Structure 1
Amino acid sequence: MAKRSDRLGRLNSSIKNCLISLRRYAVNSTALLLTTLAKIARVYRAKWKMILFYQRSRVIKLFSDSDIEVEKPRVMVAIAHITSPQEAEHPTELGSEKVERLRCTIDGLLSSFAHCNLTITIHTLPGRHVVKALPAYQRQLVQTIDSPDCNPMFVEYRLQDTLIDHVEDYDWFLMLEDDIVISDSSFLEKLSKFNQISGGLNFVLTPNRYEMHEGRKSYIDLTICSDCAWDSFSLIESDGIKFAECVNPHSAMYCLSQDQVRYWLKSGRTWKNKVIMVGPLESAATFCLLECFCLYKPHPKNLNYLEVRHYDTKYSKLCPDASPFILSQQH
C-alpha cells in the first residue's frame, strides 16, 4: 500500500508539473503571438500613414476649391517726400538716410498691400527728392509728382488734391510721410471693420506710431504728450478690442475709404492750407481732418492692434523717461 501511494504521489506531482509547464508555454506563446501581431500592426499602420501621405495631394486636388478669385481692393498711396537740395544732388553721400527711410516705407507698402491693386505716388518738388537713388524695382513702381508751385512745408496739402481727384478710381486713399513703415497685411481689414462698428463716415481710425531705439518700443505720440488722455465717452469696443479719441491724434498718416473721401469733399475743406496746430506738416497729416472727422486710435489696452513704425529715433531720444507707453524686455 505504501509503495502504491508513493507512486500515485509521484504521478500527481508529474501531472502537476506538466500542467504548470503547459500553462507557462501557453502564456509565453500567447505573449509572443500578441507581441508579433502588435509589431506587424505598427509596421502596417506606419506604411498606411505613408500611403495616405503620398495620396494627400491627390485627394486635395480631387476636392479642390475652384473659387479662389479674389477681388483686389484698389488703393492709392500718396507719400510726402522732401529733402534738402544737397541731399537730392548727392543722395549716396549726403542723403543716404533719406534714401533708406523712403525705401523701407515703399517696401512696407509693397508687403502690406501685396493683395491689392496698388498705386504709389511720391509728392515732392524738383531737385528736392532722392527717388533716383531708390532700387530699380521701386523706381519702376512709383510715380513721382514734383510740380514746382508749392511751399515745401505744404506739399502734404497739395497731395490731398491728387487723392480727391481720383475719388472715383480707388477704394482706399492712404497718405503718409516718407518715414512711416506699415507692416500689417490686415491693415485695410482692420479699418474696414472699425468703419462698420463705428456707425458713421465721420469716424476715422488712425494707427499708433512707434519708434525702436536700443531695444525699446516707444509709442512716440503718446510719450511726447505729457498729459496724454483718452476720452472714455468716445469708447468703442468690438471683440475685446477698444478704440477711443486721444488728446494727441497725430500719426503722420491717414487712410480713408472712398465714401469717407466723398464725405470730406462735401465738407468744403475750409481748413485746407491752414496751420491748425503745431505746424503745416502736422496740420495737413492730421489736424485738418478734425474739421469733419473724429479721429480714433487703439486704446492703451491694445495699443498694437493698429500701429506703424516711425523710421527714426529722435522722439525716443527726446522722451527717454519711463512711461507706460514704452515697452521693453529690459529690467
Structure 2
Amino acid sequence: MRILFTIAHFFNPKSQGKHASQRKDPQPRLQALSQNLTALHQLFGKSQSIINIGQRLAFRANQPQACDLDIIICTTQNAHLLDRLELPSHFYKHHATKVEPMLLGFECQALLHDCLGQYDYYCFLEDDLIIYDPWFFIKLNWFTQQASEQSLLQPNRYEVSTHALTCKAYIDGDLAPQVTAPFQNVKEQPELKGTIMGMAIAFHRALNPHSGCYFLNANQMAYWVSQPYFLDRDTSFVGPLESAATLGIMKTFRIYKTQPEQASFFEICHFGTAFLDLIGEKVDFAGT
C-alpha cells in the first residue's frame, strides 16, 4: 500500500502568540514535529524487524501491514524548523510556499490533488499530531468497508499528562449543533453499529468533526476533488486553520467519530497539554 502524508508546518515566534507555532520557545514545536514524522515511519514503514535470539539474526516484521510512505512537509515564508530537525534526510520532502500561515492546509490539499492516482491513501496532518496505533489504517479500512465510502471516520484527538487533574483528555467534544448545521446534516444516518474482535462498537455523526487531520482512500480523494467547491479556500468554519483541515471533508462526507465510551478505538495524540490544562481552570468536571 502506498500512502501520501502532507503536513502543514509553521513556526514564527511572537510576543503575544496565540498558537503553539507562535510561541518563543521552538523546542516543543520541534519535538512535536519530530515525533510526528518518527511515528509515521516506525508504525507504517517497511523498516521493521524482529530479533531471533537463537539464531542471532534480525528478520523482517509486520511486512503485510507495512507501506510505502511519502511525506511532504508544507511550509510558508521560510518560517519553519526543518533545518533543526535531527532526522534522516529521506524521512520527508519539503514544499515551500508563500501563502498566509493559517492557509497552509489548503496548500496541502493542492499537493494531494496533484498526486491523484498515485496512492492508496491521501492524508493531511497538522504538525503537532502523533499516531501511536499501528492498526490505524486497518481500522479505517474496516470502517469504510462496513459503512461505505461516503462515510469518513475521524480520529478523536487527545492530550496526556502526569501532572494534571486527569491523565488523558479528549479535546474535540461536541460543538453546539448550529456551528456545523450549515455544512452537514447529522440526522442523516446518525449512528452506525458494528462488531470488531467480538466487541460491539457504535459510531455517531460528529457534532465536532474537526481533528486537525484526515485520511482518505483513493476513491474518496477522487470524489472530493470532483466537487465544485474543492480547494475554494472557504474559511467559514470557525477560522482559517479549522476550515483548511475540516470544512471540505465535512461538506463531502458523512463524518463519524466514536462516542466517549469508546473514544480510544480510533484516536490521535495532540502534542502538549494546552487543552487538558483547561480542566479545573476554565473547564469544570461534570457533576462538580
The bucket for the TM-score relative to the shorter chain is: 0.7 to 0.9
Is 1:189–2:174 an aligned residue pair? no
Please, which runs of 5 or more residues in structure 2 have no aligned partner?
16-23, 46-65, 180-185
* Matches of 2:115 and 2:247, distance apart in 1: 22
Evaluate the alpha carbon distance shift between residue 174 and residue 261 of structure 1 in structure 2; reply closer, same or farther with a 3 A threshold: same
Cα deviations across residues 49-69 of structure 1 (Å, max 9, x unaligned)? xxxxxxxxxxxxxxxxxxxxx
- State whether residues 224 and 230 of structure 2, in contact with CA within 8 Å, keep that contact through their aligned partners in structure 1: no
In structure 1, give the amino acid aligned to 2:190: S
TM-score (norm 1): 0.68
- State whether residues 34 and 87 of structure 2, in contact with CA within 8 Å, keep that contact through their aligned partners in structure 1: no
- State whether residues 81 and 124 of structure 1, in contact with CA within 8 Å, keep that contact through their aligned partners in structure 2: yes
In structure 1, give the amino acid aligned to 2:152: V
Is 1:136–2:87 an aligned residue pair? yes
Partner of 1:211: 159
Partner of 1:6: none
* Equivalent in 166, 190, 198 of residue 234 of structure 1: 190
* Matches of 2:286 and 2:44, distance apart in 1: 33
Tell me the number of residue pairs that the alignment of Structure 1 and Structure 2 aligns: 242
* Matches of 2:232 and 2:273, distance apart in 1: 30
Taking only the aligned residue pairs, the percentage that are identical comes to 30
Is 1:82–2:10 an aligned residue pair? yes
Structure with the higher helix share, 1 or 2: 1
* Equivalent in 211, 218, 223 of residue 263 of structure 1: 223
Partner of 1:202: 150
- SS at structure 1 position matched to 2:104: helix
In structure 1, give the amino acid aligned to 2:247: F
* Matches of 1:314 and 1:147, distance apart in 2: 28
Q: Which has the higher contact order (CA 8 A, sep 6+)?
A: 2
Structure with the higher strand share, 1 or 2: 2
TM-score (norm 2): 0.78
* Matches of 2:189 and 2:225, distance apart in 1: 28
- SS at structure 2 position matched to 1:127: coil
* Equivalent in 23, 37, 43 of residue 106 of structure 1: 37
* Matches of 2:72 and 2:191, distance apart in 1: 35
Cα deviations across residues 236-290 of structure 1 (Å, max 9, x unaligned)? 1111121111211110000000000011011122563111211111011112212
| 1:41-120 equivalence runs, <5 A | 73-84=1-12, 94-114=25-45, 115-120=66-71
Please, which runs of 5 or more residues in structure 1 have no aligned partner?
1-72, 88-92, 325-331
In the TM superposition, what is the alpha-carbon distance from 1:299 to its structure 2 partner?
Answer: 2.4
